[in-house]
Amino acid sequence: MESRMLILDGSRVAAEIKERLEGRVEKLATHGIVPCLATILVGDDPASATYVRMKGNACKRLGIRSVRVDLPSGTTTEELIAVIQALNEDPDVHGILLQHPVSRHIDERAAFDAISIDKDVDGVTTQGFAQNAFGFAAFPSCTPAAIMAILDYYKLPVAGKHAVVIGRSPILGKPVSAMLLNQDATVTTCHSKTVGLEHHVRSADIVVAAVGRSKFVQGDWIKPGAVILDAGYNPGNVGDVDYEACLPYASAMTPVPAGVGPVTIAMLLKHTVDAAERRR
């Protein structure tokens, strides 16, 4: 039964996106422009530091300049916003990424919204969220954009399908719900207060798991033939979906790792190149 299921290989999708970016980066270089992504890390959280390093390495491999700004954990909201404003005003910086979560004492929303919409390549500002809801965001949130890119790459139909999104964060669950709706899916957005969650999931043609809980989605929740996109990443390299339990039911599913994650980084690189081209 496993052999009949389509594994949605995110590494393959990411490689194609990056391959298309190479020529665009080279063309920008002929105009003296090197796409530049600035990443801001507040504090010394090891996981966040690893993510920032991975993004920096991905930039380097593609010829994108990466500027890393490390700030102490005691940085105030005002100090962080001042750093962001300086990057907004730097013409050589095309994209700004504030690694989240930040320290609890920082007003994360105020910090996100300080990022210029023209440099919001991670799709975290309130303005960017609104543009995404209306279907014309230049830089939608990277993980939702990755999910849509995977569906598109594998030519999996969205229009007319019932999609159930488990999670309602402003940078994942809510924006991917809007993106699916904009492509004519009927969308149910579930969360921690949803009553009868399993019932909703059992009716889904497309399941997006973005709840942040290891192996949360069980196999007997899945409608036979459903497509599963697992946006979770938890300790032990496991997602929000019990992969083995869902194998007998799903027609297509992203693995963890090598599913949504690599495409998320590829979309960040794409948005940075897009921003550099728009600036030119």
Please give the pLDDT value at position 280: 77
Domain 32-116 architecture: 3-Layer(aba) Sandwich (3.40)
Any residues with CB less than 8 A from the CB of 212 and at least 6 apart, and which? Answer: 167, 232, 234, 240
Residue 274 known to be catalytic: no
| AA identity, residue 116 | S
User: Is a pLDDT exceeding 60 seen at residue 2?
Assistant: no
pTM across the whole model: 0.95
Query: Pick the catalytic residue: 9, 113, 120, 122?
Result: 122
Domain 141-260: assigned CATH number:
3.40.50.720
- pLDDT-derived band at 4 (thresholds 50, 70, 90) equals confident
127 is catalytic: no
Which among 9, 99, 161, 230 is annotated as catalytic?
99
Joined together, the tokens standing for residue 120 give 């919001």
Q: What is the DSSP letter of 223?
A: P
On the question of pLDDT at 35 being above 70, the answer is: yes
Check if the beta carbon of residue 69 is closer than 8 Å to that of residue 43: no
Q: Taking residues 243-268, what's their average pLDDT?
A: 97
32-116 matches 141-260 in fold: yes
Q: 133-151: buried (b, 16+ CB within 10 Å) or exposed (e) per residue? A: beeebbbbbbbbbbbbbbb
Name the residue ranges covered by the structural domains of the chain: 32-116, 141-260
Q: Which of 18, 55, 119, 174 is catalytic?
A: 55
Residue 1 pLDDT > 60: no
- Residues 39-49 have a mean pLDDT of 92
- pLDDT tens-digit profile of 194-237? 999 999 999 999 999 999 999 999 999 999 999 999 999 999 99
Please say if 55 is a catalytic residue. yes
φ, ψ for residue 205, nearest 5 deg: -85, -30
